[in-house]
Structure 1
Amino acid sequence: MCCKLISLNIDRIPLENQLLNAKYDYDAKYARIQKRLIEKDPLIDSERKLFEDLKGLKTAVDKEILQNAKLLENESYVERLVMRLVINQFNR
């Protein structure tokens, strides 16, 4: 019985990871961020709110980069841009 429960749990984890990745359009970075934030003391009261904020951040970052792909050549600018977007997204 114990081995069967462990086996079911092992099978469930990859499926949960795939579903979480799908929520972020298969951008694993955001799925990992969500998992790590939930494992720690939650900064946000609800998982749903965290997802909405991270999804909004992903949309904003993707939009900025799609508008000007050359941004990626300037790492320090991208770092400041993403920091500004993070602050804006989580201070709503």
Structure 2
Amino acid sequence: MITSGLRGSIESRTGQSFPDAWAGMQTDLEGLCPAKKPCVGYALVADPTIESDQDCYIGKNGIKVPDPLYEDGKITFRVNNTRCPKG
């Protein structure tokens, strides 16, 4: 189960590029699942009204964590486009 502190930490990571924010969340998400590895995915929603010269930039209030967040659940990120760099 995700704590309210972790939920708040995740949802506060707006105003960043999605790849950077997602990479930073991996350690936080490891402890949520039995195998101690990330087991939560993501969904990207393109919102062209978000202004940024970066691709895949998270807009204000652009992260929604389901409540409750189950194993294999998805965190939704509202980004300016879905042209994320491949890591």
TM-score range, shorter chain: under 0.3
Normalising by structure 1, what TM-score? 0.24
TM-score normalised over the length of structure 2:
0.25
* Structure with a larger share of its residues in strand: 2
Higher helix share: 1
Q: Which has the larger radius of gyration?
A: 1
